Structure formats: C-alpha cells, structure tokens
Structure 1
Amino acid sequence: MRPLNHPIASWAGRRVWLVGASSGIGAALAQELLRAGATVALSARRPAQLRQVAAGHAQAIVAPFDILDQAAWGGRYRDICAQAGGVDLVIFCAASYRPERSWDVSAEGAAHTLAVNLGSVYTGLATVLPDMLARGSGGVAIVASVAGYMGLPNASVYGPTKAALINLAELLYTDLHPRGLDVYLVNPGFVQTALTDQNAFAMPALQTPQAAALAIRGGLASGKFEIHFPKRFTIWVKLLGALPYRLRFALISHFLVPK
C-alpha cells in the first residue's frame, strides 16, 4: 500500500520550523534533523536553551518567541523565511502538562494548557498554511500523545487537548492532502522529559527523548500519517480504547486510578 504522505528520505536542503525546540522531544528531534542535514528554525520562549540545541550546527536558526503571543507568529515566520528561503515542514511540539485529577483543575491552569497545547497550533496553522497552499507543497506535523486516545486519570486537561490535536490532524489530512500538503500525527507514549518527571506513578515503556526523535524521523521517512511509539506500549493502549466502555472503565479503574 502506498504511504499516506510523501516519504522524507533525505533531509539535505529540507527547511523545518520546529516549535517547542528548547527541551525534551523537540530539542532531541531538532538535533536529529540538524545532524541529518536539514535547516531547522528553533522556536520556544527560552533563547539560551535554543542556542544550546543549535550549538555546532551552522544550519540552525535560533528564532525565539512566545507562542501565546498571536501577533508574534507572523513576524517570526517572515524572519525564518528570509533566512531559510521558506519553510517546507512545520512541527508543532510545544506542550504544557500538569498531572491532576478533575477536582484539582483550576480555570486559570486549564486556560493556559489549552492555549499552549491547542490554541497555539491554530495560530501557527493560520500563519503557515496560506503560503503552503499557494505553492501546493509542504507539510505539518502535530505532536499529540497516546493520552489523547481516551480519557485517562491524571490528564484532566492535557488529555483532552491531545485528543483535540488527534482530531485536528485527521481533518487537516482530509482537507490538505488533496491540495498537495502532507500531514503527520505523532503520538508518543511516555518519554522522559521535564513534563513526565512530574508523574508520581510508574510509566511503562519509558523512552528517552533521543529514542523518540529517532522514531519520529523513521515515521517521517516512511510517509506515515500516524507515528506512534513505542509499539509495545501504544498497541496495548489502542486495544484498550477499542473495548466497550463498561470493560474499559473497569480496567482503567482497577489498574490506573490511584488507590
């Protein structure tokens, strides 16, 4: 069967804008793509961390800004295009996470997580899609999570934002693929980052950011729509999500809800 997207076999000359590149999966993926020969524009709020990620890579573009500042997106995009000559692939990797049960959620905290995880992606899409559609080429990659597959404890705001991103990636593919654009959905399992360091529970199949970056690069090279990993964990989560609600709720309550 043909891949759903154009496989990215070579990164030489590829121009990537990676939003959320200062730490975790984003930083590791940025370095992986830079080593592969791509020109990568690195964006996040923290310029010092971005410079560390870019160190030793002449084709790295350090482009810090606050993704919650809607007015800043256009200027930053124009700056990157001026330096790189354009953008072929935008990777949305910025995320906010706080482990919390539903009764712990605050309105302010929820609004922030929604703005970072979901609202910023819409702002970014509104910024880059007009140019991509005009030329009939390019792609977007949205980093969601297996936490978006179903409602899980401790992900009271994070999980729904990731579910929304999964939905968004699916509809984007339907809209954009006929017009020549690629859409990639990335659903990692547990990856050891500052975000998951907040978890007080055992995380099965925990991976390093470097392993996650290799999995994402491999998925992009294969032209997959959904890139999920590690398979030994994500397949089981998919199966759990396919169960009838009565059985699924019982298993989640027994194995995942803190006693």
Structure 2
Amino acid sequence: MNVRLKLVSNNQPNRKDITGKVAWITGASSGIGRSLAIRLAQSGWTVAASARNAAALEKLAAVLPGIIHPYPLDVTDRKATAEALAAIEANLAPVSLAVFGAGTYRRETLASFDAGAIGEMVALNIMGTVNCLEAAMPPMVARRSGQIAVMASVAGYTGLPGAAGYGATKAALINMCEALYPELERHGVRMTVINPGFVDTPLTQRNDFPMPFLISSEEAAGHILRGLDSGSFEIAFPWKMKMVMKLLQALPPRLRFALTRRMLRNDA
C-alpha cells in the first residue's frame, strides 16, 4: 500500500491524531531528516521526530507546535527503540510512514582506518536501522498497510576511496531493503530505499574536498516526498550523481579502478 502524501492539514494538533496519518522520522534533529519532518508536517502529516539531540528536537517541534512531536531516542538502543514506537502509537496513532534516517559519516583512508570508528558507524547506520525495522515491521504487517523508507546513499553502489566504512554500511542497507521488499510487499507494506548524493548537512560540511552536484537539505526533502508519493522502490538524487555512480558501478573492475585511483588524495 503506497502512502499518499497529499493530505489535508491536521485540524486538532494538540490531540491524538484522528487521521491515522502519522510519520515517524529518525535522524530528525538536523539535515535531511529535519527538512523532511517540516515538509511532511506542512503537507498535513502528524510527525513523530526522533534523534539523540533532545534540545534540537524541541526547536524542531516549535516550528509547528502540536504537529511535530519530539521523541528523543538513541536508535542503537534496541529496547528504547521499541518503546519509542509504542509510545508514538499510543500517544498519536499507528505509524503509517516510517523514515529511518539516523546515521553518521566518517572519512576512512588507509592511514586513518580504525576498527572502533567503523564499528560506531556500523552500530548506528546498520544496527540502528535494524532496531527500527524490528520495531516497525510487525505492526505494519499486522495492519497490512504502511510504508518504510531507509536512508542509504549512492556511496553504497560501489567502493570509493575515503568511504570504506561509510560506503559499506550504506551498501548493507541497500541489500537489506532489496531482501525485505518482496516479503513486505506480500503483506501490504511498501519498502523504499533512499540514495542521496551530496547534500549540504552538518555531516557533509566536514568534508574538505569538492562535492559534485551538491544540493540543499530542503531540495533533498522535495525529492524524497515526490519519490514516496510515486511508490518507487528507490529514490536516488540528484539524477546526475546517480547516473555517474551507476555507470561507475557498471564498469569492469579494471576501468573502475582506473577512475577511482584518480580520487586518491595525497594524505590517503
């Protein structure tokens, strides 16, 4: 069942949602998650916003009081994640759209390759998403309705210098979504994977290298909304970055590595 986004506004923002159009967004305190939460709320959704930064969530909720609801959460805590969803559904209504965007990024070169740092990315990017999926899938399957979107990246298409850890976590999420899609579809639940290119967020602002086709988080939110409404399995943007990465992925290894060697930096 595809969750349509063109809905009327919630006329009772301070009460339990009566429309059943509740969206749960993780990683909502900044970047794409924050912009998406605002856009969904402006489109008539009641939004449950989760992230570790409680103060940032309160500021987000103040943008549209009574429509965006803060639910502070560390998604790496399996028990807390299940409890957060239970609270959202008890306080608002069953979640019909879940966007799992909590994640982190760290550049990994041969010189800085660190098991602990990569383990932290695995814990948040992969296992944090797994905890959210474990919580969200059973009630949606039981209702035979709903849509789940997982934030991966075009970096998951193929290995790039500097993204050994980050790209691996995003490749795992793409693979996981592909594996879950047929079974969820059988039970009336739609699975979507979101693969952004470079988006101007607090995470990418750490980068000290050129980021081709960079877009704003507001633009990214627009791409995601249109993609969710279309019912596509994959939402990838901007299209130029998607095509570059898809072509790189399709090249035979000899040609691919000839190109990726050029991406090496002197400090690598």
Give the TM-score range, shorter chain: over 0.9
Tell whether 2:88 aligns with 1:80: yes
Task: Kindly indicate whether the alpha-carbon contact (under 8 Å) linking 1:118 and 1:161 is maintained by their aligned counterparts in 2.
Answer: yes
Task: Report the equivalent of 1:6.
Answer: 2
Tell whether 2:202 aligns with 1:206: no
- From 42, 52, 60, the equivalent of 2:59 is 52
Task: Kindly indicate whether the alpha-carbon contact (under 8 Å) linking 1:11 and 1:33 is maintained by their aligned counterparts in 2.
Answer: no
Tell whether 2:243 aligns with 1:235: yes
Q: How does 1:63-142 map to 2 (within 5 A)?
A: 63-142=71-150
Q: How does 1:180-219 map to 2 (within 5 A)?
A: 180-219=188-227
- From 142, 152, 157, the equivalent of 1:149 is 157
Q: Distance in 2 between matches of 1:218 and 1:7?
A: 11
Structure 1 stretch displaced more, 204-213 or 193-202: 193-202
TM-score, scaled relative to structure 1: 0.94
- From 42, 58, 71, the equivalent of 1:35 is 42
For 2:200, give the aligned amino acid.
Answer: Q
Offset at 1:7?
A: 5.7
Offset at 1:154?
A: 1.0
Offset at 1:233?
A: 1.7
Structure 1 stretch displaced more, 6-15 or 154-163: 6-15
Offset at 1:138?
A: 1.0
Task: List structure 1 runs of 4+ shifted beyond 4 angstroms.
Answer: none
Task: Report the equivalent of 2:228.
Answer: 220
Task: Kindly indicate whether the alpha-carbon contact (under 8 Å) linking 2:145 and 2:189 is maintained by their aligned counterparts in 1.
Answer: yes
Task: Kindly indicate whether the alpha-carbon contact (under 8 Å) linking 1:133 and 1:179 is maintained by their aligned counterparts in 2.
Answer: yes
Task: Kindly indicate whether the alpha-carbon contact (under 8 Å) linking 2:5 and 2:225 is maintained by their aligned counterparts in 1.
Answer: no
Offset at 1:9?
A: 4.1
Offset at 1:119?
A: 0.3
Aligned to 1:142, the other structure's residue is in SS state strand
Tell whether 2:11 aligns with 1:15: no
Aligned to 2:38, the other structure's residue is in SS state helix
Q: Quick one: structure 1 residues 82 and 206, their matched pair in 2 at CA, closer, same or farther if it must change by over 3 Å?
A: same
Q: Distance in 2 between matches of 1:145 and 1:102?
A: 22
Structure 2 residues not aligned, in runs of 5+ = 9-18
Q: Distance in 1 between matches of 2:60 and 2:88?
A: 17
Task: Kindly indicate whether the alpha-carbon contact (under 8 Å) linking 1:99 and 1:198 is maintained by their aligned counterparts in 2.
Answer: no
Offset at 1:105?
A: 2.0
Offset at 1:103?
A: 3.8
Offset from partner CA, 1:187-210 (integer Å, 9 cap, x none): 000001111111111000000000
Task: Kindly indicate whether the alpha-carbon contact (under 8 Å) linking 1:189 and 1:234 is maintained by their aligned counterparts in 2.
Answer: yes
- From 177, 201, 210, the equivalent of 1:169 is 177
Task: Kindly indicate whether the alpha-carbon contact (under 8 Å) linking 2:2 and 2:146 is maintained by their aligned counterparts in 1.
Answer: no
Task: Kindly indicate whether the alpha-carbon contact (under 8 Å) linking 1:102 and 1:156 is maintained by their aligned counterparts in 2.
Answer: no
Aligned to 2:164, the other structure's residue is in SS state coil
Structure 1 residues not aligned, in runs of 5+ = none
Offset at 1:120?
A: 0.9
What is the aligned-residue identity percentage?
Answer: 42
Number of equivalences: 254
Tell me the C-alpha RMSD between the 2 structures: 1.3
For 2:103, give the aligned amino acid.
Answer: A
Offset at 1:258?
A: 1.4
Offset from partner CA, 1:86-124 (integer Å, 9 cap, x none): 111111101111112134122211111100000011111
Task: Kindly indicate whether the alpha-carbon contact (under 8 Å) linking 2:3 and 2:97 is maintained by their aligned counterparts in 1.
Answer: no
Q: Quick one: structure 1 residues 18 and 129, their matched pair in 2 at CA, closer, same or farther if it must change by over 3 Å?
A: same
